[in-house]
Amino acid sequence: MVRIAVVRGAAHVRPLCSRPSATNGRLPSGILVATPVTALPIVSSPSSSPRPRHFSSTRALQTCPTQPISRSIAELPERTYPRYLQSAKPGSSLLVLNWPRPPRNLLLVQKLYAPDVTESVIQFARHIHSEYPDVHIIVEPRIADAIQKHLGFPLYVADHQSNIADKVDVIATFGGDGTVLRAASLYKLHGSVPPIVSFSMGTLGFLGEWSFADYKKAWREMYMSGSDVPEAREADYLQQGENNNLTTRATHHDGWERLKGKSLGHQRASRVLLRHRIKADIYDRAGNSINHQVSDSLSSQGKSTIAEPKEPSPSLRAINEISVHRGSHPQLAIIDIYQNGHFLTETTADGILISTPTGSTAYSLSAGGPIVHPLVKSLLITPISPCSLSFRSLVLPLDTKVVLRMSSRNRGRELDLSIDGKRCCGVLPGTEIRVEGEFVGRAGPGEEWHGGVPCVIRTEEDDPWVGGLNGLLKFNHPFGRDPAMDDMSD
């Protein structure tokens, strides 16, 4: 009988048998030679070509011997909506994150086709499961199998049985700016986006606030924010005054009590940079809304991850920009632009962009638009390669109503409508796209906060926008020398 030992992580497989006898070079009687079996995987020896770097860096990608079965998000408790309070620091425009109870449902959104990022997501998921057992981890269907097979506990997968808008408390992203945009775009048909904790692990890091090395600190501060924050008591007092009811705030929860030694009060409350969005409504040449047709198309493309709207014909929301482009047609697009009901101009160009301040450092900047701080409540109109040298980008108040009307001079051509860089539909001559800033706040007493994209940042003193200008865009970087090497002393 032959015994073969298979060792996890071993460089090669060897039979457990005696060496051949030195006599005549023959094997002793009773010893059989094991021949290769094709059903077993063949692993190269250490002397062969090296393994990929992402497998040798950590052991995170070892397959779990007993893989649990993923579960549906329909089994999860209902979503917890946080409060956003004004920071007590004088002159601050940031908000303070305040949970009424610990968040329980966490959605992970990662950069696709990046094994190193997958390693980090698995490491993060294991930490959350170990230290925060009350938190349920949700993943997208496309990555569920790749993550689940490395974990010894079940994940929850978004599916058609439930709407993620009713389940997800908080989102963690792993990747670059595109990953943050993709997470926000899951709610392009919904008015309320959960707080986003973004780890910068991609090509661009303008929207990525945290280094993955700080993932334990980032999650702990976000999770504990609200457990012992002075502003929370003030907010409860105001809420009681609005509702004329004396309900008390439940501050004792198992999740917080287990970690109450890690709550450092007001100084560890997470700060939130609220990035405003714009919304668009589409009308055909007869003046009928066709939002429902576009939203149905987007929902079918989203494969269960698009947050389903509560209204029958929802507006389309963008965190970066809404664009109309000539697409593959060789002729330029002709678009009439109206501002607050008044004709502004006709543009003949490759297209037109309506951008947010967050999007001012994206497509709009490449098209020649200005750089605008994300807290400036405004929207930008930027032409894409116009035929006129005098058509410059415009910065307008956020509540400005802008209408883009596809001119009949396009001769029946269909132009491409895209939101945050992803094509949504084609628009024919006579179609109107009505754009305005999204309302942010509470519509009335007792209602939940909605609007905007709340991004959890590191500290109030460390402005990620300034760091992005200097580190990524090389703002005002002199030619021919490195400012860091200059002697700045007198």
pLDDT tens digits, 211-222:
999 999 999 999
Question: Which pLDDT score, from 0 to 100, does residue 444 have?
Answer: 66
User: Does 81 share its domain with 223?
Assistant: yes
With bands split at pLDDT 50, 70 and 90, how would you rate the model's confidence at 266? Answer: low
User: Does 82 share its domain with 193?
Assistant: yes
* C-alpha distance from residue 237 to each of 52, 200, 219, 336 (Å): 57, 38, 28, 50
User: Does 322 share its domain with 389?
Assistant: yes
Q: How many helices (H) and strands (E) does the chain have?
A: 10, 23
Question: Which pLDDT score, from 0 to 100, does residue 393 have?
Answer: 95
* Cβ-based neighbours of 401, under 8 Å, separated by 6 or more: 339, 340, 341, 434, 435, 436
With bands split at pLDDT 50, 70 and 90, how would you rate the model's confidence at 244? Answer: very low
User: Does 225 share its domain with 322?
Assistant: no
CATH number for 138: 3.40.50.10330
User: Does 282 share its domain with 198?
Assistant: no
> Rounded to an integer, what distance in angstroms lies between the CA atom of residue 477 and that of residue 468?
13
Residue 485 DSSP code: G
Provide the number of structural domains found in the chain. Answer: 2
User: Does 130 share its domain with 81?
Assistant: yes
Q: Is 315 helix (H, G, I), strand (E, B) or coil?
A: coil
Neighbouring C-beta atoms of residue 445, cutoff 10 Å:
11
User: Does 343 share its domain with 431?
Assistant: yes
At residue 410, what is the residue type? N
Q: Has this prediction a pTM greater than 0.85?
A: no
Question: Which pLDDT score, from 0 to 100, does residue 482 have?
Answer: 62
Question: Which pLDDT score, from 0 to 100, does residue 264 have?
Answer: 52
With bands split at pLDDT 50, 70 and 90, how would you rate the model's confidence at 230? Answer: low
Q: What pairs with residue 105 in β-bridges?
A: 136
The tens digit of pLDDT for each residue in 308-318 reads 887 788 999 99
Domain-embedded: residue 183 = yes
Instruction: Specify the higher pLDDT residue, 64 or 13.
Output: 64
Domain-embedded: residue 30 = no
User: Does 100 share its domain with 218?
Assistant: yes
Q: Which of 268, 329, 305, 280 is nearest to 108 (CA)?
A: 305
**241 pLDDT above the threshold of 90:** no
Question: Which pLDDT score, from 0 to 100, does residue 252 have?
Answer: 62
> Rounded to an integer, what distance in angstroms lies between the CA atom of residue 256 and that of residue 258?
5
Range of the domain at 137: 71-230+260-274
Domain-embedded: residue 479 = no
Residue 119 main-chain phi, psi, to 5 deg: -55, -45
CB 139 within 8 A of CB 105: no
Domain-embedded: residue 243 = no
User: Does 266 share its domain with 319?
Assistant: no
Domain-embedded: residue 235 = no
With bands split at pLDDT 50, 70 and 90, how would you rate the model's confidence at 229? Answer: low
**485 pLDDT above the threshold of 60:** no
User: Does 400 share its domain with 412?
Assistant: yes
User: Does 428 share its domain with 320?
Assistant: yes
**102 pLDDT above the threshold of 60:** yes
Domain-embedded: residue 10 = no
Domain-embedded: residue 403 = yes
* C-alpha distance from residue 200 to each of 173, 204, 223, 414 (Å): 8, 8, 19, 38
User: Does 107 share its domain with 198?
Assistant: yes
Domain-embedded: residue 321 = yes
CATH number for 353: 2.60.200.30
- From 439, 456, 483, give the residue that closes a domain: 439
